[in-house]
Structure 1
Amino acid sequence: MSSQRSFQEMTPPRNNRPPPFEPINCCGESEDSFVDSPAKSTTNSLRIPVVTRTAGQSRSNSSLEQERNESYVKEENFNVQYEMTLRKYHSTDVPYIDSHCHTDFIFNMLHRKYPENHVGINDWVDKYPAAFPKSFAGFIANFIKPGLFVNDTESSEYDMEWILRELEESGLYIGTTWGCHPHQAETWWKKGTFWTTLDHILSNVSKYKVLAVGECGIDLHRCESSLESQKVVFDKHVALAYKHKLPLVVHCRNGKQGNSEDECLKILKEQMEKNHPFLKIHRHCYTENWSTAQRWLKQCPDVHFGFTGAVLSFNEGQIEAIRRIPLDRILLETDGPYFKPKCFERIAPSKVCLPGMAIATAERLAEIKNVPLEEILRATYNNARRVYQVPVF
């Protein structure tokens, strides 16, 4: 048996279940009730419970025990599969970048659960090394909740000190983007302090490691902000991107209220006619079909499409878009803490996607495009550096 540590051993065990590679005791059974399973990972022997039947045992009880036993087999098989998957991720030397995540949201989720142990990205890397493969080169953090960075008397969330400390202490911050998410538009669209602060941040590229404007856009799915406020906020963000010669991160989500793609493209067209069409655009968290992608490619000659862990559950229409979008127009992102890949579920806090997990999205993209994982990692790494014009701060 290999002396290497398993990925489970590299991280604290989950409180609500035993470590996956330890014998699972059921209904008070002792460890004598377990035998070695023929299935093995490269680092662990897996063990499953033996179900014994006594004379006269009812068939219904036997069925229940069989069902329970089968569930354990599935559990252990899953453990083998995810261990092998993670070892594959950690074996590659090709660098990759998470081009879109929200470290402030990740901090809020982790800090609520573990207030003394999760201060920022350096702590997460130390506590969950299996979630950060060795070729992970860093991430671009999106700050899209103005209450965090606008010193407004009505906001209790202001904490620019935390942001600046993070940027100073961790080299994994490749850069940042700043803006107002559509969900926040109604609150901030008429506040002069927001627009003044945003313009100030975008003017101080080195201090704030600014790479782009946004994410911003139109959300017609479940958004409490009015369409009017969203359109005004998005239009002003586009204007700021042109003013500061920065890329634009665009959020579009369709819903019962209408087609957000139509609204976004209309505003972009007007701004492009006033300026120029070659604005670098990161169409964030793309989940639409090939037909919609064609509209973006036709109108915006420098648009790139970001894909998250949502690709793991795409339908055929969405998969076709991935197949047909050129590889040099694809960006890798997590949108962390959202869209956590299942293979990482047991090596980090539940429902929290960390930036290093973007590699799971890359693997799915590789499967769809029928190319090696390394080709996706290399291409998206180069794409992110080109789109965001990544400098050395």
Structure 2
Amino acid sequence: MFDIGLNLTSSQFAKDRDEVVTRAFDAGVKGLLLTGTNLHESQQAQQLARRYEYCWSTAGVHPHDSSSWVDNSAEVIYTLAKTEEVVAIGECGLDFNRNFSTPAEQESAFTAQLALAAELEMPVFMHCRDAHKRFLTLLEPWLDKLPGAVLHCFTGSRQEALDCLGRGLYLGITGWICDERRGLELRELLPVIPAQHLLLETDAPYLLPRDLSPKPASRRNEPAYLAHIAERVAYWRGEDPQWLAAQTDDNVRRLFGVQF
């Protein structure tokens, strides 16, 4: 199992990062992709990926942080992308739910990062919330110039999933599906996703699976819980968990070019 979405730079892991990584590998996780959400955290993620074996990172600016995009932002990401630890550009995309950055700022930063990924011939690690139509409009002209793309933490509708899959995107699935209040629609559309386009992630420390038992006292999600997510995804897809884990591992190797 490979966790494609882990926010190891979060302050929630400040006191026990080493132990969190150790627990993940002890639980059967084979690799981790550390998410960069702004320039500073992208630099931190790259340093952490260098520190731990079988860890890699992304470099990019999240839509929430798009207002921080300046003239030299692309240069900083470009430099990070040339290191062996960074294997994707992102987390980038659109989030019109909260608009911590204006839609115009988000669209500008997203397009700039798509252009950078195309130039570097690197996959993109993307975010989309309440912006599906505009997200696809901006992404589509770049798809034939990118080696691959994943929409991480997918929580959209069946039609949105089909729209993304029809354009060759991978979809990252989290413990959101374990939420009996919010995750039922996503749970029902899991069989729609071809196994060859499915990736697994925790998005830790966020999105602790609600059906995890016993729950940690901290209520903090960890990559060690990826096995639980994988088992539930396999169950709702009617597949063997070990087979699905192997398939998603192959997808990771194909998309990000990593060996683990």
Deviations 1:324-355 (A, max 9, x none): 111111000011111112426545x5132111
Query: In the TM superposition, what is the alpha-carbon distance from 1:359 to its structure 2 partner?
Result: 1.4
> Which residue, out of 163, 168, 181, partners 2:50?
168
For the Cα contact (< 8 Å) 1:289–1:320, is it kept in 2?
no
Higher relative contact order (CA 8 A, sep 6+): 2
2:19 maps to 123
Q: State the AA in 1 paired with 2:218.
A: S
Higher Cα Rg: structure 1 or 2? 1
Q: Check if 1:370 corresponds to 2:238.
A: yes
Q: State the AA in 2 paired with 1:310.
A: W
1:110 maps to 13
For the Cα contact (< 8 Å) 1:132–1:357, is it kept in 2?
no
Q: Check if 1:195 corresponds to 2:74.
A: yes
Q: State the AA in 1 paired with 2:138.
A: I
> Following the alignment from structure 1 to structure 2, what is the Cα–Cα distance between the partners of residues 377 and 148?
29
> Following the alignment from structure 1 to structure 2, what is the Cα–Cα distance between the partners of residues 370 and 391?
28
Deviations 1:20-49 (A, max 9, x none): xxxxxxxxxxxxxxxxxxxxxxxxxxxxxx
Alignment map for 1:375-386 (pairs within 5 Å): 375-386=243-254
1:267 maps to 138
Aligned-residue CA RMSD in angstroms?
2.1
> Following the alignment from structure 1 to structure 2, what is the Cα–Cα distance between the partners of residues 125 and 278?
31
- Where 1:328 maps in the other structure, the secondary structure is helix
- Where 2:188 maps in the other structure, the secondary structure is helix
Per the normalisation by structure 2, the TM-score is 0.90
2:98 maps to 222
> Following the alignment from structure 2 to structure 1, what is the Cα–Cα distance between the partners of residues 215 and 54?
23
1:3 maps to none
Query: In the TM superposition, what is the alpha-carbon distance from 1:193 to its structure 2 partner?
Result: 3.1
> Following the alignment from structure 2 to structure 1, what is the Cα–Cα distance between the partners of residues 4 and 243?
17
- Where 2:94 maps in the other structure, the secondary structure is strand
For the Cα contact (< 8 Å) 1:344–1:357, is it kept in 2?
no
Alignment map for 1:1-393 (pairs within 5 Å): 96-105=1-10, 108-111=11-14, 114=15, 118=16, 120=17, 122-125=18-21, 129=23, 132-148=25-41, 160=43, 163=45, 165-173=47-55, 175-186=56-67, 188-189=68-69, 191-202=70-81, 204-206=82-84, 209-254=85-130, 260-272=131-143, 276=144, 279-298=147-166, 300-301=167-168, 303-313=169-179, 314-342=182-210, 343=212, 346-347=215-216, 350-391=218-259
After superposition, the Cα gap between the structure-2 partners of 1:269 and 1:166, relative to the gap in structure 1 and judged at 3 Å, is closer
For the Cα contact (< 8 Å) 1:181–1:216, is it kept in 2?
yes
Deviations 1:308-336 (A, max 9, x none): 01011255432232111111110000111
Task: Tell me the matched-pair count.
Answer: 257
Q: State the AA in 1 paired with 2:139.
A: L
- Where 1:241 maps in the other structure, the secondary structure is helix
For the Cα contact (< 8 Å) 1:345–1:351, is it kept in 2?
no
For the Cα contact (< 8 Å) 1:362–1:377, is it kept in 2?
yes
- Where 2:9 maps in the other structure, the secondary structure is helix
Q: State the AA in 1 paired with 2:173.
A: F
Per the normalisation by structure 1, the TM-score is 0.61
- Where 1:143 maps in the other structure, the secondary structure is coil
Q: State the AA in 1 paired with 2:48.
A: E
Query: In the TM superposition, what is the alpha-carbon distance from 1:278 to its structure 2 partner?
Result: 5.6
- Where 2:58 maps in the other structure, the secondary structure is strand
Q: Could you tell me which runs of 5 or more consecutive residues in structure 1 were left unpaired when the two chains were aligned.
A: 1-95, 150-159, 255-259
Query: In the TM superposition, what is the alpha-carbon distance from 1:381 to its structure 2 partner?
Result: 1.1
For the Cα contact (< 8 Å) 2:39–2:76, is it kept in 1?
no
Query: In the TM superposition, what is the alpha-carbon distance from 1:167 to its structure 2 partner?
Result: 2.9
Percent identity of the aligned residues?
24
